[in-house]
Amino acid sequence: MARKLPMHKAISEAIAQEMERDPEVFIMGEDIGTYGGIFSATTGLLQQFGVERVRDTPISESAFIGGALGAASKGMRPIVELMFVDFFGVAMDQIYNHIAKAHYMSGGNLRMPVVILTAIGGGYSDAAQHSQCLYGLFAHVPGLKIVIPSNAYDAKGLMISSIRDDNPVMYFFHKGLMGIGWMPSPPEAANEVPEEPYEIPLGKANILREGQDATVVTVSRSIYEALWAAEELNQEGVSIEVIDLRTLVPLDRDTVINSVKKTGRLLIVDEDYRSYGMSGEIISTVTESGVSLKFPPQRIAYPDIPVPYSRVLESFALPDKAKIKDRIKEMMR
């Protein structure tokens, strides 16, 4: 049976089902128990599983994220929540130098089935230290799988796959997709979710809309801006293909290349910083493949500035439907 769920419920349901299935799965983080997670990703877990397996932690990210490594080394399957991805700095050594590299450095002897669950994204004036996406930063270091769901159905299947994966996975949910009421969210992000557990393989992009004239590659909340733009452009006779990458590591390069082969035009939309990130990686992928393009590859990404507070400044910087439409029109000239 499927029912419509907001993304936050799909995530907590996936975690609950995996905790039921596997006693080694447990979760730690700030305000994930009594509060149920600031963005409701863990609501109900404490009541269902108790304080041993659902651990409210002190504000000590380095200790409990590093702790995930130690627990995993003894066969546990920890999930840890980093409340906002922006707080990564205080635990970055554990994530970047240890969790990401332990398998390789141990010559494959040490498995790291750790999920780091974290909130991303802006658009509500939370400013420079609470609005970033940063998945590009984590995709850059070898050894971390990078999962970025855009809707409730994907969120559940990708969470289950992430927990079952024997590698470290960073799971980035956009606050503006969770459907938590107090934060605006596109209604489309809440979709039909089967009650039973299911997996969505990591590394398979999803073509959300087929089209002939241009390929738009994106993730997370920007997907809706792209889909809305595609719908309006369709009225104007321009047909857009929209690809949701779903995961950056592994990256489904084939789906992107095949689409651009067909359309000959590529636009990447990314709420993460422009330079040295996802948008550059996709453009390189396509360029290196030798596909011939009708227009130079384009990107609308977050400019290389810290996220400003004032609403007018932030909207200037964020990718949106209007910017996507304008750029596609330029590409069609």
Partner 1 sequence: MEREEIRRDEFVSMYRLMFKIRTYEETLGQIYYEGKTPLFDISKGPIPGELHLSSGQEAAAVGVCINLRPDDAVVGTHRAHHFAIAKGVDLKKMTSEIFGKKTGLSKGKGGHMHLFDTNVNFSCSGIVGASFPQAVGVGIAAKMQGKDFVSIAVGGEGAANQGTFHESLNLAALWKLPVIFVIEDNAWAISVPKEKSTSISRNSERAKAYGIPGVYVDGNDVIGVYEVAREAVKRARAGEGPSLIEVKTYRFRGHFEGDPQLYRPKEDLEMAKQNDPILKLEEDLKGKNIITEEEISRIKEEIETEIKEVIEFARNSPYPEPQEALEDVFTGGD
53 binds partner 1 (CB under 8 A): no
Structure tokens at 20: 């039921």
As a whole number of Å, the end-to-end CA separation of the chain is: 47
Residues within window 156-195 making contact with partner 1, judged by CB under 8 A: 181-184
DSSP 265: -
Structure tokens at 99: 């969790």
Quote the CA–CA distance of 281 and 216 in Å, as a whole number.
14
87 binds ligand TPP (CB under 6 A): yes
- Interface pick for ligand TPP out of 5, 14, 54, 83 (rule CB under 6 A): 83
Of 155, 151, 191, the closest CA to residue 13 belongs to 155
DSSP 307: P
Q: What angle do CA 22, 27, 29 make, to 5 degrees?
A: 175
Residues within window 127-146 making contact with partner 1, judged by CB under 8 A: 127-130
- Interface pick for ligand TPP out of 24, 53, 76, 90 (rule CB under 6 A): 90
Three-class SS of residue 19?
A: helix
What would the x/- binding string for partner 1 be over residues 13 to 52, using CB under 8 A?
A: -----------------xx--xx--x--------------
Structural Rg of the chain based on CA atoms: 19
Q: What is the largest CA-CA distance in the chain?
A: 61
- The answer to whether the peptide bond before residue 250 is cis (omega within 30 degrees of 0) is yes
The residue (of 66 and 264) whose beta carbon lies closer to partner 1 is: 66
130 is catalytic: yes
- Interface pick for partner 1 out of 97, 192, 315, 326 (rule CB under 8 A): 315
What would the x/- binding string for ligand TPP be over residues 26 to 65, using CB under 6 A?
A: ----x----------------------------x-x----
The residue (of 34 and 315) whose beta carbon lies closer to ligand TPP is: 34
Among the listed residues 103, 130, 140, 174, the single catalytic one is: 130
Residues within window 71-90 making contact with partner 1, judged by CB under 8 A: 86-87, 89-90
CA distances from 227 to 178, 210, 240, 320, 324 (A): 18, 11, 9, 11, 10
Which residues form the interface with partner 1 (CB under 8 A)? 30-31, 34-35, 38, 56-63, 86-87, 89-90, 123-130, 181-184, 303-306, 308-317
Instruction: Please give the positions annotated as active site.
Output: 130
Which residues form the interface with ligand TPP (CB under 6 A)? 30, 59, 61, 83, 87, 90
